[in-house]
Amino acid sequence: MSECGDCHGCGAASVVEFPGPLASPKIVALAGPPNSGKTTLFNRLTGLRQKVANFPGVTVEQHTGIAELPDGRSVGIIDLPGLYSLSPQSEDEQVAHDVLTGERPDTPRPEAILLVLDSTNLSRHLMLAAPILALGVPTLIILNMADDLRNRGGHVDTRQLSAQLGAPVALVSARQGEGIDEVFEFLASAMPAPAPMELPVLHDVPKCREWAGRVGSRASYRPPVPPKWTRRLDSVFLHPVAGPLVFAVVVVAVFQTIFTAAVPLMDGLRWLFEVSGKWVAATLPDSIFRSLLIEGVWSGVGSVVVFLPQVLFLFLFIGILEDSGYLARAALIADRTMARVGLQGKSFIPLLSAYACAVPAILSTRTIENKRDRFATILIAPFMTCSARLPVYTLIIAAFLPNRPVLGPFLGARATALLGLYLLGFLAAVVTARVLKSSILKSGHTPFLLEMPSYRWPTMRSIGLRLFDRAKVFLRRAGTVILLVTVVLWIMAHLPPVNGKAPAIEDSLAGTVGRTLEPIIKPLGFNWKIGIGLVTSLAARETIIGTLGAIYGMDPESHKLGLQKALQHDLTPGGAVALLVFFAFAMQCISTIAVVRRETGGWKWPILQFTYMGVLAYGGRVPRRAPDQVIAASPPPPLPETRW
């Protein structure tokens, strides 16, 4: 149960890091209940100067940023996980508690606290002010969502409230940027400690609530009228018939749009790489270096970067759903399904974010208090179709499936196939969860609590920051892991030299690795080229595209064909299906394995998970024909070179 249970073997804990140099070592913490708009304020204060890491030793996400004060000084800001009280029940809350009380040796105790409360629900949110003020640390009480409060006829006397609490109070709208100056003023000031006031007994929740109500009414707090639009929208989105229908339409619309809206951008990127590649080839003299640059870097990294628009579209949708408040409704609708496999509704959010990437999803399972539920969610999260699989899927589907309409102009065959693959991963996750929850991870009940936030318009700023962050992560991976793998592959493909020249690709070191693997993967319909791709994709799934791009680029037989055509030449349709199934099931991601090891505190669970998923991936596609026939089958009739 101790935090150190997670960190044995992970080396010395590093000290909390900020995204840049701090002029003055002033560090403040941003604290508040979930749904108080804390993250929006954090984004508002720090802009692009943010850094996401983990608190050393535990796996709670640590968001740090630097706020630039108008006088030019800068302040370090730590965004803490959401808190309902300072008597922690989940690891998230434990970390927030320990940072605020200065009990984490790796994190300097914050000099001040920015306590963010939802002004439209002040009486309840004020409860958190009692334990925070009791810490005696300089605190600014930020009443967020001031625009909402005003528009819905609410009111609060901030001066009175400040007198009641013995601490400065600022009425702020983080979304609109209103009142941010007051926050900066506080940060620039001497930041006085709160005046000693009478506080309730902190462990007595009814007493705390009573106190909060009293303080609120003395500050003439008038709660706003219930949000009319939220009620109206909920009578559609939570309608017994219309609700699930909207849910289904949203899911289908997301997938279909990824495949129509992203196409021109992807074509543009592809064109850019082609043109720049040709330019580089024409400019540089013929050398080993040019060959590495063109065959390794351009065709390897380029073929992955092309998928950036699709990944960004996915995150755009997740961002809109989350920020608008619809995601909580989706979790509500999905809860029955989750309950059927033995999981709780809180697992839905991590599982949904696993569609983007399993790593943050696994990190976000920390909000699930029940340890067994959390482990089950961690173990099934990598089955959800992460964005790294998306380029692999789209490439193979595009190469093998003509885009016939399935549901009129609304749903094409390719989108349907993709949807099917998403469904396949989901079903594997569900069945696995069922098995786990009725065997090794059986557990009692924890109450399912889900707060329904009011609907809000997502802001460009918040979504934009998120997309920027994602693009950074994607490009960093393309520029590091994938670049490294393609370069190593290129070198292996050029060794050992024959008469001073590169060997034929199948005689090279890389080819030898692939051909060693061939007998094992032959039953699935894969040849040695795909085998090399499977090895390199262990680093990151999408690397297989760069790998194949590089191999085909170096192979004189196929280098004139595009990647799609070359694949058609190399794989039978059956082999293509097997490859898709393999990618749907196999746990080919070193980052995920690493994060599971850290989250579960040992190698037991990741090894079990890797083996289980590997067996599924290999056994998932039982060949219908004799293996030899599959390999020897003539290439399928060429499809017209179609674009997405």
Partner 1 sequence: MQLSGNNVQPETSSKTLVDLRRGDAATLDHIDLPGKDARRLMELGFLPGVRITAGHSAPGGDPRVFQVDGSEIALRRETARRLKVRLDKTRPAPGMP
**Cα distance from N-terminal residue to C-terminal residue, the chain:** 50
Contact by Cβ (8 Å): 79, 42 = yes
74-79 and 61-68 as β-strands: parallel, antiparallel, unpaired?
antiparallel
Q: Indicate whether 610 belongs to the interface with partner 1 (CB under 8 A).
A: no
Q: Indicate whether 228 belongs to the interface with partner 1 (CB under 8 A).
A: no
Shortest distance, CB of residue 438 to partner 1, whole angstroms?
17
Q: What is the DSSP letter of 374?
A: H
Kindly tell me which of 452 and 467 has the beta carbon lying closer to partner 1.
452
Residue 172 to residue 116: CA distance in whole angstroms: 9
Q: Indicate whether 549 belongs to the interface with partner 1 (CB under 8 A).
A: no
- Check whether the bond before 496 is cis (ω within 30° of 0): yes
Residue 345 to residue 451: CA distance in whole angstroms: 11
Q: Indicate whether 91 belongs to the interface with partner 1 (CB under 8 A).
A: no
Shortest distance, CB of residue 44 to partner 1, whole angstroms?
24
Kindly tell me which of 190 and 241 has the beta carbon lying closer to partner 1.
241
Q: Indicate whether 335 belongs to the interface with partner 1 (CB under 8 A).
A: yes
What sign results for the dihedral spanned by CA atoms 173, 177, 180, 181? negative
Contact by Cβ (8 Å): 506, 528 = yes
Residue 77 class from Cβ within 10 Å (0-12 exposed, 13-18 middle, 19+ buried)?
buried
Shortest distance, CB of residue 344 to partner 1, whole angstroms?
8
Shortest distance, CB of residue 216 to partner 1, whole angstroms?
11
Q: Indicate whether 225 belongs to the interface with partner 1 (CB under 8 A).
A: no
Q: Is 58 left (phi over 0), alpha (psi -120 to 50) or beta?
A: beta
Q: Indicate whether 89 belongs to the interface with partner 1 (CB under 8 A).
A: yes
Query: In the window 193-222, what residues touch partner 1 (CB under 8 A)?
Result: 205-206, 209
Among 82, 223, 458, 503, binds partner 1 (CB under 8 A): 223
Choose the binding region for partner 1 from 98-106, 187-195, 314-322, 449-457 (rule: CB under 8 A): 449-457
Shortest distance, CB of residue 157 to partner 1, whole angstroms?
18
Phi and psi at residue 174, in whole multiples of 5°? Answer: -65, -30
Binding mask 392-431 for partner 1 (x = CB under 8 A): ----------------------------------------
Kindly tell me which of 159 and 239 has the beta carbon lying closer to partner 1.
239
Shortest distance, CB of residue 244 to partner 1, whole angstroms?
6
Residue 473 to residue 145: CA distance in whole angstroms: 31
Among 254, 320, 452, 473, binds partner 1 (CB under 8 A): 452
Total residues in contact with partner 1, by rule CB under 8 A: 37
Among 12, 21, 72, 445, binds partner 1 (CB under 8 A): 445
What sign results for the dihedral spanned by CA atoms 456, 460, 461, 465? positive
Q: Indicate whether 250 belongs to the interface with partner 1 (CB under 8 A).
A: no
Q: Indicate whether 234 belongs to the interface with partner 1 (CB under 8 A).
A: yes
Contact by Cβ (8 Å): 273, 306 = yes
Shortest distance, CB of residue 164 to partner 1, whole angstroms?
19
Q: Indicate whether 235 belongs to the interface with partner 1 (CB under 8 A).
A: yes
Among 358, 262, 368, residue whose Cα is nearest residue 317: 262
Q: Reduced to 3 states, what is the DSSP secondary structure of residue 534?
A: helix
Q: What is the DSSP letter of 170?
A: E
What sign results for the dihedral spanned by CA atoms 464, 469, 474, 476? positive
Query: In the window 126-145, what residues touch partner 1 (CB under 8 A)?
Result: 127
Among 105, 153, 226, 497, binds partner 1 (CB under 8 A): 226
Q: How far is CA 612 from the centre of its chain?
A: 24
Shortest distance, CB of residue 453 to partner 1, whole angstroms?
8
Q: Indicate whether 121 belongs to the interface with partner 1 (CB under 8 A).
A: yes
Contact by Cβ (8 Å): 346, 450 = yes
Q: Indicate whether 449 belongs to the interface with partner 1 (CB under 8 A).
A: yes
Choose the binding region for partner 1 from 233-241, 277-285, 401-409, 539-547 (rule: CB under 8 A): 233-241
Q: Reduced to 3 states, what is the DSSP secondary structure of residue 510?
A: helix
Residue 305 to residue 479: CA distance in whole angstroms: 9
Give residue 197's identity as a one-letter amino acid code. M
**Tokens 């939220």, located at residue:** 230
Shortest distance, CB of residue 445 to partner 1, whole angstroms?
6
If you write DSSP's letter for every residue of 198-210 in order, what string do you get?
Answer: ----TT-HHHHHH
Among 21, 447, 500, 556, binds partner 1 (CB under 8 A): 447
Shortest distance, CB of residue 362 to partner 1, whole angstroms?
23
Give residue 578's identity as a one-letter amino acid code. A
Choose the binding region for partner 1 from 118-126, 249-257, 400-408, 633-641 (rule: CB under 8 A): 118-126
Helices (H), 199-241: 205-218, 228-237
Kindly tell me which of 11 and 447 has the beta carbon lying closer to partner 1.
447
Shortest distance, CB of residue 166 to partner 1, whole angstroms?
23
**Tokens 């020249």, located at residue:** 501
Shortest distance, CB of residue 148 to partner 1, whole angstroms?
12
Contact by Cβ (8 Å): 460, 522 = no
Among 32, 76, 345, 533, binds partner 1 (CB under 8 A): 345
Choose the binding region for partner 1 from 232-240, 310-318, 350-358, 607-615 (rule: CB under 8 A): 232-240
Q: Indicate whether 150 belongs to the interface with partner 1 (CB under 8 A).
A: no
Chain residues in the site for partner 1 (CB under 8 A): 84-85, 87, 89, 120-121, 123-124, 127, 205-206, 209, 223, 226, 234-235, 238-241, 243-244, 328, 332-333, 335-336, 339, 345, 445-452
